[in-house]
Amino acid sequence: MAPTSDQARLDGLMAGPQHPRIRELLAVRKDSAPGRIMVEGSWEHSQLLDSRTVIHAFFYCPEAADRTAERAARVASRAREVYRISEKLLARLSRRTRPDGLISLAELPVWHPGEFRFDESSLVLVADGVEYAGNLGTLIRTVDAARADCLVLTSRRARLNHPSVYAASRGMVLTTPVLEFDDVADAAGWLRRHGFEVHLADPGAAGSYRVPAYQGRPTAFVVGSEGGGLSSRWHQEGFGAVSIPMLGQADSLNVALSAGILLFEARAHKDGW
């Protein structure tokens, strides 16, 4: 029986460590190839296939992918380029102790501030100075879960194309709008132009997050970095602050957990549940 076209692609070109696409993949890991993201693993590829993301290159190691051959064929049918790689090269490329032979180089979506239209049901999360890729991914996943319109980043430190962002977001980095502003004032101005009621998340604020009605206008929450908290530049914008009461000995919550509490409180008010 003749091999299918997808299988033929999987059996096709062999890529070695000096191949340009391999070097590009390594550059993504070093954050020197913006706009691209590395996707590794069977579950991660199922999420990739569920999106409309462009797959620039798919790297397949048949010796390590005996249980994922069917999924590999599906990825091969979507990828612009398909390469076989050796187990030795897979071990060099993989971030896992037991890789399953599936790695893709995919394109990150690009979102523009002018694309958005908001109404009183709209929710936006602003993350200022986020430092850790895992937290950035969890914030993206939380924005999706609360049906917020987008995540806005200011003073970002964690890179969006870090593989941990993909894993922590459960693949939602491919479908959840993420905007980045170079300056806090630009982000604040964008929110004002769209009529947002903006709440700064500040553990030291006197007002509880349970007090606002979160109705009649679009709502935005601004959360700070894991170490330094919210930048003083956001406080200088004149927005009001809310806090989540700390009932134990800890003085604050993880930034992603705080964001989830705030977003779901506002979503409940807006949707009436």
Residue 1, pLDDT score: 40
**Do 56 and 144 share a structural domain?**
no
**Do 159 and 259 share a structural domain?**
yes
Percentage of residues of the chain with pLDDT beyond 90: 75
**Do 121 and 178 share a structural domain?**
yes
H or E stretch at 226: none
Residue 12, pLDDT score: 66
Domain that holds residue 230: 113-271
Predicted confidence band at 228 (pLDDT cuts at 50, 70, 90)? confident
The mean pLDDT of the chain is 92
> CATH no. for residue 151?
3.40.1280.10
> For residues 165 and 256, what is the distance between their CA atoms, to the nearest angstrom?
13
pLDDT at 9 over 80: no
Residue whose C-alpha is closest to residue 259's, from 251, 267, 247: 267
**Do 226 and 132 share a structural domain?**
yes
> For residues 246 and 142, what is the distance between their CA atoms, to the nearest angstrom?
21
Burial of 175 (0-12, 13-18, 19+ CB in 10 A): middle
Per-residue pLDDT tens for 20-78? 999 999 988 776 677 899 999 999 999 999 999 999 999 999 998 777 888 999 999 99
**Do 56 and 125 share a structural domain?**
no
**Do 121 and 103 share a structural domain?**
no
pLDDT at 128 over 90: yes
**Do 233 and 134 share a structural domain?**
yes
**Do 34 and 163 share a structural domain?**
no
**Do 57 and 35 share a structural domain?**
yes
Q: Which residue, 107, 135, 166, sits at the end of a domain?
A: 107
Per-residue pLDDT tens for 250-264? 888 899 999 999 999
